[in-house]
């Protein structure tokens, strides 16, 4: 539905509101991008990866723990 205006002042007022809303949305997008950049720093990726592995190991039985630790030892020995 189109909005009808009765004066130039109403139009200017609506344009100011729309401009503030546009700026607010722009800042929200910029903030989201900054948050995303922070989430993908190398240290956070490593921390999240090891946290996931640690939770898998703590919730698994003995055989799974043994296989996972053996695999991790193999991977780290290959990189050294």
As a whole-number percent, the residues of the chain with pLDDT over 90 amount to 35
Residue 54 tokens read as 């640690």
Q: Is 40 exposed, middle or buried (0-12, 13-18, 19+ CB in 10 A)?
A: exposed
Q: State phi, psi for 23 to the nearest 5 degrees.
A: -60, -40
**How far, in Å, CA of 78 to CA of 29, rounded?**
42
Q: Using one digit for the tens of pLDDT, what is the confidence trace for 35-54?
A: 888 888 887 777 777 777 66
The answer to whether the CB of 55 falls within 8 A of the CB of 64 is no
């Amino acid at each position: 539905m189109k909005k009808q205006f009765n004066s130039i002042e109403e139009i200017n007022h609506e344009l100011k509101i729309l401009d503030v809303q546009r700026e607010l949305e722009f800042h929200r997008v910029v903030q989201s991008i900054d948050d995303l950049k922070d989430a993908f720093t190398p240290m956070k990726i490593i921390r999240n990866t090891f946290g996931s592995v640690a939770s898998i190991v703590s919730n698994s039985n003995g055989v799974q723990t043994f296989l996972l630790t053996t695999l991790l030892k193999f991977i780290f020995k290959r990189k050294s």
